[in-house]
Amino acid sequence: MKPIEVQIVSKASLILSRQKSPTKNNFMAETILAPFQISILAGIIGFKIFCNQIKIYIKIADDYNIKSH
């Protein structure tokens, strides 16, 4: 993982860990932001899976091109 991705994931996990034990003051704010934060995390994970899929497809395409020529 790249350092930026590590930072984003660690920040997201920190936010999610705070989510479990919020103080009464930020309970409302954290509750409102929770779905947004989870969707960001899901987006990051989805993007990584998407990138891996693209790499697999490129590899298959390369193998196919080598065989067809």
Q: Could you report the per-residue pLDDT of 6-62, keeping only the tens digit for each?
A: 666 666 666 666 555 555 555 556 666 677 777 888 888 888 888 888 888 888 888
Half-sphere exposure of 68 (CA within 13 A, CB side): 6
How many C-beta atoms surround the C-beta of residue 15 within 10 A?
17
Residue 66 lies in a domain: yes
Task: With cut-offs at 50, 70 and 90, classify the pLDDT of residue 65.
Answer: confident
Residue 1 lies in a domain: no
Six-digit token string for 67: 């065989």
**CA–CA separation, 46 vs 13, rounded Å?**
16
pLDDT of residue 32: 66
Domain count, the chain: 1
Domain, as residue range, for 63: 34-69
Residue 43 lies in a domain: yes
Residue with more model confidence, 9 or 67: 67
> CA dihedral in degrees (19, 25, 31, 37; nearest 10)?
-60
How many C-beta atoms surround the C-beta of residue 12 within 10 A?
17
Residue 14 lies in a domain: no
pLDDT of residue 54: 84
